Structure 1
Amino acid sequence: MARSAIIEDMPPAAVGKAAAKPLDPVAAEDDFRFHALLYPNRSLSPDGFKRVLGVVILANLINAVVYVTLGAWPVAFFCGADIVIVWLAFQASYVSGRRHERIMLTEDALWVSRVLPSGHETRWRLDPWRARVRIDRPVRHETQLHLCQHGRTLIVGSFLSPKERGELAEALDRALLEARA
């Protein structure tokens, strides 16, 4: 039986611009009991992007030459538009890939930091004694990883694959149990 969609309703502890003036650091690197840095998956490297764009340019160039020699020269403009559209789509994909989340567990707090592609950072502070990890089993594509506290919910790692969300839930739950012990 599928659960109804849960909406993120936990208010942030701090907001700011990560690029211009980062928020105060949470703790020194060695003070973390758990630390995870989450990035969206990108299936194409910058070198692969250049190769794909090269193939697109070559195919459209051949197409444009054929149509120009047949006298249909306006088609060449559409071939150029194809190249620009493919380039813009990849640029949008790489910009969205700059989004990341960081989960940091210290002795007295569980911090979740979300940085958008624009550089805007939002942080949540949860009490490790009261925070609970919730995820539906079996983990499917639509399954969300929730951090719950006092009836409030924070969704974490929505851009991860189902397997990665399940592994993150297990690791975070284990770290929270160890922190409480």
Structure 2
Amino acid sequence: MELKEQKPHFCAVLTPHRALDQNGVQIVMIITCILAAIPGIVFFLMGAWPIVGFLGLDVALLFWALSKSRKQVNGFEEVTLYPDSLDIRRVSPKGRETRFQFNPFWTKIEVFKDFEDRVTDIVLKSKERSLKIGTFLNPDDKKSFASALSNALYRVKR
């Protein structure tokens, strides 16, 4: 790993949106359990007790989805632009780090939009290589990030 002695022209750390913290997950699960228990008790008293198992399965699946979502927020991407290189450091939610390096003079940003003019993908292209970045960002964040990075690349190329 080499240390850059020069000051970066642009640096951004991209992180996924964190909608719920641990307390939020607990509150959602408590409310879900209460709301699932009400029909569960009714169905159990009516003799349709297998439905209680399906309601429990719904609660368990929701808990699994929220837990998986919480673990995904530990990942991030760091984009740093120096006069002679564009460095992307991608850290997975499990902590595995991957680095990519582009020459800023050969790098082009491609922004893909949907039919409603929302940004869906940002792709860095340089000769034969391409890299999709910021996949976890929402369309507005993708748009502002692509604009900021594009402006920084333009300034470096001048």
User: Equivalent residue of 1:167, what SS?
Assistant: helix
Asked if 1 retains the 8 angstrom alpha-carbon contact of 2:119 and 2:140, the reply is: no
Unaligned runs of 5+ in 1: 1-23
Q: Distance in 2 between matches of 1:170 and 1:55?
A: 41
Matched, 1:93 2:76: no
Structure 1 or 2: more helix by fraction: 2
Aligned pairs for 1:119-158 (under 5 A) are 119-136=95-112, 140-141=117-118, 143-158=120-135
Asked if 1 retains the 8 angstrom alpha-carbon contact of 2:89 and 2:100, the reply is: yes
Unaligned runs of 5+ in 2: none
Q: Distance in 2 between matches of 1:77 and 1:26?
A: 57
Q: Distance in 2 between matches of 1:26 and 1:135?
A: 30
The TM-score with structure 1 as length reference comes to 0.73
Structure 2 residue aligned with 1:60: 36
Aligned pairs for 1:24-173 (under 5 A) are 24=1, 26-27=3-4, 31-136=7-112, 140-141=117-118, 143-173=120-150
Q: Distance in 2 between matches of 1:32 and 1:64?
A: 59
User: Equivalent residue of 2:18, what SS?
Assistant: coil
Greater RCO (CA < 8 Å, at least 6 residues apart): 1
* Superposed displacement of residue 141, structure 1: 4.7
Q: Distance in 2 between matches of 1:53 and 1:99?
A: 24
Asked if 2 retains the 8 angstrom alpha-carbon contact of 1:101 and 1:157, the reply is: yes
Structure 2 residue aligned with 1:177: 154
Superposed CA RMSD:
2.6
* Superposed displacement of residue 114, structure 1: 1.6
Per-residue Cα deviation, 1:34-91 (whole angstroms, up to 9, x for no partner):
1111122233333322221111111122233323333444433333222211100111
* Superposed displacement of residue 110, structure 1: 0.7
Structure 1 or 2: more strand by fraction: 2
- How many residue pairs get aligned? The number is 157
